[in-house]
Amino acid sequence: MASSPDQARAGCGGAYFTVLPDCEGARAAARSLPRRPGTRTLDHPSRRPWITGHWADDECIAVTTRRTALAVLGCCPVDAEVLRRHADRLTDLAQLDGLARTLPGSFHLVASLDGRVRIQGTASGLRLVFHTSLGGLQVAATDARILACATGADPDPREVAVRLLWPVPHPLYERSVWQGVSAVPPGEALYLSADGRTTRTSRWWTPPEPVRALADGAPLVRQALTDAVGARTRQGGVVSCDLSGGLDSTSVCFLADRSPARVVASTWPGRDPADDDLDWAKRAAGHLPEVDHVVWDAQASPLVYTDLLDIDDPMDEPTIGVMDRARVLHHLPGLRERGSRLHLTGIGGDHIAWCSEAYYHRLLRRRPLFALGRLRGFKVLFTWPLSGMACALADSRPYDRWLAHAAGRLRDPLPGPVSGTLGWSAPPRLFDWVSDDAAALVHDALTDAAADARPLHPDRGLHTDLEAIRTCTRIVRQWDSMTCRAGLPMASPFFDDRVIEASLAVRPADRVTPWAYKPLLTAAMRGIVPDECLSRTSKAQASMDAADGLREHRGDLMALWEDSHLARMGLVDPALLRALAHRPNAPGLKDAILYSTIACEVWLRSLARGTSHDAPQRPA
């Protein structure tokens, strides 16, 4: 099922690499990095090794001048001559801020100028940067496993304990779980000094202020999403697209149909008889006569929790994405057989086309009558309790105080959903099976973070939007690696930085309203997606798939805790977890409270197999 490098097309997230400083000792550092067959290397202008790793030909555009080397790795349709002109004019690495904010796609941008080095990922967090000291030199990489392998680092018990939180709040989820390996926050660039001894970071991206009217912003979202899909389809061939019938995947599918590529649309119906995805998918396919529409057997699709005991994917951090791994990969062989070279998803549409109702916390203070009318609508739509709404809207604590308060309430019952929806975030919780030692580690981590924590934006609505994007991209980042390993790369155009910027710039009152479903995406896709398809206001929840998965795979969950790695670390009580596995219908399980614990256990099991200390894999 593996594909050749030239079949692993742009945008798959399969490229991974290490960046070395331009100094003596760089060659020795390069030799100590894990290597796999097919490792490629680009040089600094000095001819010392600069970038070493794995990427397909169309995943890297690099130019070199006498003083400068500039490379874009990932999915970016920039022309090499355009990149060369930027390299010729480059006199300060900070000038790359402007370039990074204009290029479409999803990519890492790396530069070398007069011995100094800069590397950055995406503002979305889909492409990350890590660094560590290797033989006294600072080395950066796109995957923390590479650096952990080179230095022999072990997982940090405190960071693993933090990942048991549900949910993990900002900024704790942005940290590396490996001892001695540091993470660069999304939206920041890492600089390596000319002697390779020191690093610093600088912010190159800030979210736009949400001030555009819907009528002005929708055409910009339309163009950004068109460019994002075009970056993946411009080379032609065959691409596959999810076609769930929802607005997000349907929009991507119609945009792909307008490209040079031939499209295979993939619909996976849910098992719930009330799930209307298939009906809407068929309506959309009826407007796409040139598209090959494949409908899979709902009963043959894996349930949530499938194959947890057999996961051996190299992962550089725990991810709740392992719960749906089997579902994500299941249909890829069939799509490969139909010629697909890349699979496009609508993931991210929920984060981009909608936005957090927490914006109404601020709107209530600026436009009280308007906000109260909308909040009454949300109360009816989501059946929010009035008392919970009042408490959340009255809470004006700054983020650092909110985080410090959360550190002392880790064992409290789960709060009502409205407290997180209208607040900074859902307050993090630890559950009964988490040990007191782990709770102490988590309390200290939260307290330390609260000492200087800053929200992602002063407006809790925009903070919540950015946190939701970054949390989701960390899951998708691991899925991208898994699908590349399975032979059919995956891409999520909604998470391109330009799409995110265009969407966040639209006024929140125009993006989230109880009276319309995803009005921004509907307006942006008018004229591309038929009105019939844009009229959908429902969304399938797949709750039956999750509930059935708990019942069918409770034996696997029992086995997961029989020889628990988390228990060996003293972080959980396996007896309580085994008892819970006996009760798949226990109250609370439907709220996914086991996900973070399972994610950590599966990740530690993969380390024990030795896979996660290997260099990351791409199609061979």
Contact 187, 501 (CB under 8 A): no
The predicted model gives 444-454 an average pLDDT of 97
Higher-confidence position of 612 and 264: 264
Torsion angle, CA of 586/587/590/593, rounded to 10 degrees? -90
Q: How confident is the model at residue 304, as a pLDDT? A: 87
Q: pLDDT tens across 342-388, in order?
A: 999 999 999 988 889 999 999 999 999 999 999 999 999 999 999 99
Q: pLDDT tens across 522-542, in order?
A: 999 999 999 999 988 766 655
CA 169-172-174 angle, to 5 degrees, is 110
| Order of strands across the sheet that contains 129-134 | 40-43, 49-54, 16-19, 137-141, 129-134, 182-184
Report the alpha-carbon distance of residue 506 to residue 606 in Å, rounded. 42
Give the pLDDT band (50/70/90) at residue 188.
Answer: very high
- What predicted TM-score, i.e. pTM, was given to this entire model? 0.94
Residue 612 has pLDDT above 50, yes or no: no
Residue 616 has pLDDT above 60, yes or no: no
Q: 477 exposed, middle or buried (CB, 10 Å; 0-12, 13-18, 19+)?
A: buried
Q: 3-class DSSP state for residue 435? A: coil
Q: How confident is the model at residue 354, as a pLDDT? A: 87
Give the pLDDT band (50/70/90) at residue 409.
Answer: very high
Residue 101 has pLDDT above 70, yes or no: yes
Tell the residue number behind the tokens 């022999």, with chain if given.
152
Q: Which of 411-420, 423-432, 489-498 has the lowest mean pLDDT?
A: 411-420
Averaged confidence pLDDT in the chain: 92
Any bridge partners for residue 16, and if so which? 54
Q: How confident is the model at residue 551, as a pLDDT? A: 80
Q: How confident is the model at residue 542, as a pLDDT? A: 58
Sign of CA dihedral 329, 494, 252, 506: positive
Residue 391 has pLDDT above 60, yes or no: yes
Q: How confident is the model at residue 553, as a pLDDT? A: 83
The predicted model gives 398-402 an average pLDDT of 97
Q: pLDDT tens across 297-331, in order?
A: 888 888 888 999 999 999 999 999 999 999 999 99
Q: How confident is the model at residue 232, as a pLDDT? A: 97
DSSP 475: H
Q: pLDDT tens across 125-151, in order?
A: 999 999 999 999 999 999 999 999 999
Residue 610 has pLDDT above 80, yes or no: no
Q: Is 152 left (phi over 0), alpha (psi -120 to 50) or beta?
A: left
Helix intervals (H) in 194-240: 214-233
Q: Three-state SS across 138-187?
A: EEEECCHHHHHHHHCCCECHHHHHHCCCECCCCCHHHCCCECCCEEECCC
Give the pLDDT band (50/70/90) at residue 416.
Answer: confident
The predicted model gives 583-600 an average pLDDT of 82
Q: Which of 39-48, 201-210, 528-537 has the lowest mean pLDDT?
A: 528-537
Report the alpha-carbon distance of residue 405 to residue 427 in Å, rounded. 9
Report the alpha-carbon distance of residue 499 to residue 480 in Å, rounded. 19
The pLDDT > 90 percentage for the chain reads 83
Contact 15, 139 (CB under 8 A): no
Q: What are phi and psi of 476, to 5 degrees?
A: -60, -35
Q: How confident is the model at residue 274, as a pLDDT? A: 66
CATH 3.60.20.10 fits 5-154+175-203, yes or no: yes
Residue 202 has pLDDT above 60, yes or no: yes
Give the pLDDT band (50/70/90) at residue 582.
Answer: confident
Q: Where are the domains of the chain?
A: 5-154+175-203
Q: How confident is the model at residue 435, as a pLDDT? A: 98
Q: How confident is the model at residue 498, as a pLDDT? A: 98
Q: How confident is the model at residue 332, as a pLDDT? A: 96
Q: How confident is the model at residue 487, as a pLDDT? A: 93
DSSP 58: G
Give the pLDDT band (50/70/90) at residue 11.
Answer: very low
